[in-house]
Chains A and B, each alone.
Chain A
Amino acid sequence: MESIMKLEKVNKTIGSHHVIKDLSFEIFPGEVFGFLGPNGAGKTTTIRMMVGLMSMSSGDIVIAGNSIHKQRSKAMEQVGAIVENPEMYPFMSGWKNLVHFARMGKDVTEERIMEVVQLVGLEKRINDKVQKYSLGMRQRLGIAQALLHRPSVLILDEPTNGLDPSGMKEIRAYVERLAKVENVAVIVSSHILSEMELMCDRFGVIHNGELVDIQSVKDAVADAEMEVSIEATPLDVVERILKEETKNVITKKQRCHIVLEKDRIPDITTKLVENNVSIYSIYTERKTLEDEFLKVIGDGVID
């Protein structure tokens, strides 16, 4: 598959700091790409370079075949973005704000603006001034603004910042729909890792300006051994059987915890049943993105 956005050996030096070091990766149409990294890792700088707010010291970013250096306008036609907070003009209505940004794009009709307003569910309040909007409504207007010109790449920097759980869920639904139905490539950066896990298909981790890992969420979780927790009686029998399978058995609070591959769970269950153990529950504790993330960046602090 042809990538829609490609970073080629991007470097950025600010003063004497080498902030971004040889960053290269690709984003494909229809995928939701999570961009992770602790604060100060270069996440925001990278995003700002993707949308042309900051220049690169060397390297290039190619969007739908257009170099951001040489064909900036053409490249930007393909990009919709919210960089940090969606800061619109507070003294104008939501509608006027959208008209404002629509005029800066290509072929955005009034019908299209209305369509986008409906998509984000702001019809009722669109003629109110933005200063009267709640944070959630501003966030929605921000998304509307980013979608006006039907971009093929949507960049959302901290899109769920300050949203309540239902707001987050809504954003997740838009993102999913855009990626799956309209084949838009979505780049999301967030520090709420559980959010990212639910939303993203693939993620890249940046640390100290370098790309340290890039993989799909499924791979990251499926390969790994997982922790299995079994609640069953009598506990001593359970413990004895489990010890035949694996060395590390930890028993606490009437449960046995073991670590093993997913494939072996059915065998163990059969064995327990054959030994007349009453099983109340078996569940797996999936390795989370957070564990992966911490493993990759060491114990760097995430705020």
Chain B
Amino acid sequence: MISLIRNEWMKLFAQRSTWIGIILFVCLITGFALFMTTGPSSSEQYGSDWKQELQQENKEMKKQIEETPSTAGFRQDQIKKNEYRIENNIAPNEFTGWKFVQENRMFVSLISLFTIIIAAGSIANEFRWGSIKLLLIRPVSRTKILFSKFITLLLFALLLLVGLFVLSMGLGALLFGLGSWTDPYVFMEGGEVKDTSIMAFSLMQYGFSSVNLLMMVTFAFMISAVFRNSALAIGAAVFLMLSGNSIVAFFSDKVWAKYILFANTDLNQFVTGTPLIEDLTMTFSVSVLIVYFLVFLGAAWLVFTKRDVTST
């Protein structure tokens, strides 16, 4: 199995497109970092009397709530957070390298896109090249070949995730100063305000973002195995990735809406926000995700191991 994964890894990095993708990816992050140093600061700066400033802020927000009650939800959360900071003596975060790391979480969707493209080709391309015929006549079961490909995809995504995290940390430290990784980070969980170290929070956020990545990559992999068509796999996966939330919103009044994959892919919603559909819980979402994951892989496996390889 290890030698099969090594094979897939070798093929992946022997292709020029993989390298171009990686270089583009690094350039984008670096570009974004440079843009952040020159652009307007995204967080207000607080002075040494930040407690007073926060109190002032809260007063203003309470006034605004009275004027426009429709915005109450978001402002109330902010007020609670500010009160929590004052009570627990936690100064608002400056824009440090860690904050940058945390903001770069949005690049995870870029990693998704990149890995989807590779997943889409991983089986379809073997058929297109004709090399599938040489691959499947070895004393290795088709199941092993399929899973070595899938594991390679996951390793590749992991490499990019770790790369993103480390690169963001490096750039953050270089451009903004890293600050302390134990800096407390204040967030809302289930209507309650909590705090944790910013590093733990960042890691958690990256972890949650990877869930969507994993599901979409598995989906693209399945389409690639079933239809042997990489364009279709990329198209379908990217379309679903982009329109996932709209699909959920469209069907949100249906009873079965909570079983839609995309109602569950954002696990972050249980930690820092309100769930898309009210009665969703973390346990429920994770169970739904596992079922989808197994169905995708099962379909890929069934078709890949059973189908005759005819002339292409």
Q: Which residue numbers of A lie inside 8 Å of B, CB to CB?
A: 14, 44, 48, 51-55, 72-77, 79, 81, 83-92, 96, 99-101, 103-106, 145
Contacts and interface: CB of A to CB of B under 8 A. Distances in A.
A64 to B, nearest CB: 12
B256 interface: no
Given A44-B311, A48-B309, A103-B7, A72 B133 contact: no
Given A51-B137, A103-B3, A96 B309 contact: no
Contacts of A72: 139, 141
Interface string B106-144: 000000000000000000000001110111111111000
B273 to A, nearest CB: 44
23 contacts: A51-B137, A52-B136, A53-B136, A53-B137, A72-B139, A73-B141, A75-B139, A79-B137, A81-B137, A84-B130, A84-B311, A85-B130, A87-B133, A88-B134, A90-B129, A92-B10, A92-B11, A92-B14, A100-B10, A103-B6, A104-B3, A104-B138, A104-B140
Nearest to B309: A53
A21 to B, nearest CB: 18
A22 B137 CA distance: 23
Given A53-B133, A103-B4, A77 B11 contact: no
A33 B295 CA distance: 45
B149 to A, nearest CB: 13
Contacts of A104: 3-4, 7, 135, 138-140
A76 B139 contact: yes
B63 interface: no
Contacts of A145: 134
A53 B139 contact: no
B38 interface: no
Given A91-B16, A96-B10, A100-B7, A86 B138 contact: no
Nearest to A77: B139
A165 B169 CA distance: 63
Contacts of A100: 7, 10-11
B60 interface: no
Contacts of A101: 134, 138
Interface residues of B, number: 26
Interface in B14-56: 14-16
Given A73-B141, A81-B137, A87 B11 contact: no
In this complex, the member of A72, A88, A100 whose beta carbon has the largest number of chain B beta carbons within 10 angstroms is: A100
In this complex, the member of A74, A103, A145 whose beta carbon has the largest number of chain B beta carbons within 10 angstroms is: A103
Nearest to A48: B309
A91 B14 contact: yes
A114 B7 CA distance: 19
Contacts of B134: 83, 86-88, 101, 145
A84 B133 CA distance: 9
B88 interface: no
Interface string B268-309: 000000000000000000000000000000000000001011
Contact of A54 (B4, B131, B310): B310
Contacts of A48: 308-310
Contact of A105 (B130, B139, B310): B139
Contacts of A44: 311
Contacts of B14: 89, 91-92, 96
B130 A54 contact: no
Nearest to A86: B134
Contacts of B139: 72-77, 104-106
B135 to A, nearest CB: 8
Contacts of B311: 44, 84
Nearest to A50: B137
B133 A89 contact: no
A290 to B, nearest CB: 26
B275 to A, nearest CB: 45
Given A44-B311, A53-B136, 19 more contacts: A48-B310, A55-B308, A73-B141, A77-B139, A83-B133, A84-B130, A87-B131, A87-B134, A88-B131, A88-B134, A90-B129, A92-B10, A101-B134, A103-B3, A104-B7, A104-B140, A105-B138, A105-B139, A106-B139
B309 A54 contact: yes
A76 B16 contact: no
Contacts of B136: 52-53
Contacts of A90: 129
Nearest to B306: A55
Contacts of B140: 73, 104
A56 to B, nearest CB: 10
A89 B141 contact: no
Pairs of residues from A and B, 5 with the lowest C-beta to C-beta distance, nearest first: A87-B130, A104-B138, A54-B308, A103-B3, A53-B309
Given A103-B3, A104-B4, A52 B11 contact: no
A89 B11 contact: yes
Contact of B129 (A54, A74, A83, A89): A89
A97 B205 CA distance: 40
